[in-house]
Amino acid sequence: MLRASKKMMALAALLVFVFSAATLCAQQAAPDMILSNGKIITVDPKFTIAQAVAIRGDRIIAVGTNLDINKLAGPNTKKIDLKGKSVIPGLIDNHMHLLRGGTTWQYEVRLDGVTTRKQAFELLSARAKTLGPGKWVYTMGGFAREQFTDNSKPFTREELDKAFPDNPVALQESYFRMSVNTQAMQAMGIDDKSTGDVGQGGIGRIAAKLPTVGKDQIEASSLGMIKDMNRWGLTTFGVPGCDPDLVAMYRRWEAANQLNVRVFCIDGVGVGNTPESVTKALPEIAKIKLFQGDNYVDNIFYGEGVYGPLSDPMFLVKSNPTPEQLEQWRRIATAVAAAHLPLHVHTELHDTINAFLDQVEAINKEYPIKNLRWVFAHMNQVDAEQLERMKKLGMYVALNPWTVINGGIMHAAYGDDAFDLPQLATIQNSGIMWGFGTDGTRANQIPPFNTLYFAVTGKMVGGTKVVRQTISREDALIAHTRNNAFFVFQEDNLGAIQPGKLADLLVLDRDYLTIPAEQIKDIKPVITMVGGRIVYDAATQTSAAAK
């Protein structure tokens, strides 16, 4: 009896200990932040809609009803009343030249989403006034005149001279054309008899002479760009071309807990344009080591180009890859496969897609690529047969729909065929894994809600119908979040509002799922969060550094 009593006492003591430990653990596990009374569009595999979300540190710990989530609150939990607003995961761009964009952001005038010529001139004039006489006023792509609803006529030399008598002006429209005034022509050494309308062939020569920010300004310029990205709702990027010095700068910000975007680099080695240069470069591919970073900055793909002569330029109507060029492409891609590296490659025109697939199918027989995440990017001309070939190989599509601003240019170049550039529903219904990117900052506009509007309505910026195939707003959102997490090798961390994932999310000013489709382009984030930190708050108009 005594022995039994001692056992009962010991058991009771154990239960008290377990209960106390559990209570202490629960206290320690209280969330740092709770967002409640909202519409949480989780974009999880079931596309669950919840009311509230709890965050501890940089991760989501619970998603559910207001009642269940509020029970988790501790005395120090910050509470945000969403007041019915909708919440979506942070938006991911799978292919955007972010780091390069920072080298001009402080100087350029961005016309992303601007739908009138009048507003464009107001923005350009404001920049000229801020800079003062003699300073360059320019755009570096990201718009096309066809997006203006009031007047889409060409910018003439005389018009720009009159509007900007004291400044050199260069207006680059995507990678298609550039308009310059007399001061710019004189600075560039352009024939004084020119109309000031520079064609596609001359853009690169002039753009290379436009001022970029100096070393003493690159941090401010890049931080200003990141602030705009957060304001637009972008939190993560697949980035072609990552200059090591710029990557080091981003890592310094991360170390100081001040990096407000995630950067996943798509980079390679210099292979040149000849068989000899390829031979010299091949051993370097075997030395590449990816995934040495973290969930803020990392190198994840070999790409974007494989072999320079086979990178389709924008607006080329038809390509003609030669056997000699494809032989070099295959040599490089074979080395990538032999090194078991992921590949993300610029692929655009129909004949190029077929030619590359021929090479990949041959490579696959020697070095299976199914689990390497080989991705073709851009892909505006991909068709159903090509998608099926890619699926059999275990490949993926990073879709960068240039038509979002270039719809007018594409229709002039391709005629009615442009209505199928891209075939959104065909891609969606193929069952292949695919996601959205922009190829910004020059080839395309950047704000993601313009891309989502395009996907749902088939309309470019400005409202002109430019593609016939559209997809549902749910599928479009998945392509910009959960699917894109896969394209940056972060599917376990990003792309959905789920327990265990990183707390990257947006609070929106209107409900993406229920507003009229025409209003999708007008959605604005009121809060952008990265890793549980509020990095943009519309109420204060500040992009906050970590505290």
CA nearest 325: which of 297, 306, 303, 348?
A: 306
Q: How many helices (H) and strands (E) does the chain have?
A: 18, 22
8 A C-beta contact, residue 504 and residue 89: yes
8 A C-beta contact, residue 397 and residue 382: yes
CATH of the domain at 166: 3.10.310.70
8 A C-beta contact, residue 125 and residue 165: no
pLDDT in tens, the chain (547 residues): 333 443 444 444 333 333 333 333 444 589 999 999 999 999 999 999 999 999 999 999 999 999 999 999 999 999 999 999 999 999 999 999 999 999 999 999 999 999 999 999 999 999 999 999 999 999 999 999 999 999 999 999 999 999 999 999 999 999 999 999 999 998 888 777 777 888 887 888 888 888 889 989 999 999 999 999 999 999 999 999 999 999 999 999 999 999 999 999 999 999 999 999 999 999 999 999 999 999 999 999 999 999 999 999 999 999 999 999 999 999 999 999 999 999 999 999 999 999 999 999 999 999 999 999 999 999 999 999 999 999 999 999 999 999 999 999 999 999 999 999 999 999 999 999 999 999 999 999 999 999 999 999 999 999 999 999 999 999 999 999 999 999 999 999 999 999 999 999 999 999 999 999 999 999 999 999 999 999 999 999 744 444 4
Answer yes or no: is 144 within a domain.
yes
Answer yes or no: is 48 within a domain.
no
Answer yes or no: is 123 within a domain.
yes
If one counts the domains in the chain, the total is 1
Q: Which residues pair with 266 in a beta bridge?
A: 240, 301
b/e per residue 325-336 (b: at least 16 CB within 10 A): bbebbbbbbbbb
CA nearest 380: which of 353, 342, 412, 345?
A: 353
8 A C-beta contact, residue 128 and residue 164: yes
CA atoms within 13 A on the CB side of 82: 29
Report the alpha-carbon distance of residue 375 to residue 434 in Å, rounded: 9
The pLDDT assigned to 28 comes to 54
Q: Which amino acid is at 546?
A: A
DSSP state of 509: S
Residue owning tokens 């594409």: 410
Answer yes or no: is 530 within a domain.
no
The pLDDT assigned to 546 comes to 43
Q: Which domain holds residue 156?
A: 108-207
The model carries a pTM of: 0.93
Answer yes or no: is 137 within a domain.
yes
The pLDDT assigned to 29 comes to 87
Tell me if residue 48 falls in helix, strand or coil. coil
Answer yes or no: is 326 within a domain.
no
Q: Concatenated DSSP letters for 102-150?
A: TTTTTTBPP-TT---HHHHHHHHHHHHHHH-TT--EEEESS--GGG-SS
Q: In what order do the strands lie in the sheet with 52-56?
A: 59-64, 52-56, 33-36, 78-81
Answer yes or no: is 157 within a domain.
yes
8 A C-beta contact, residue 434 and residue 479: yes
Tell me if residue 409 falls in helix, strand or coil. helix
Answer yes or no: is 200 within a domain.
yes
CA atoms within 13 A on the CB side of 28: 6
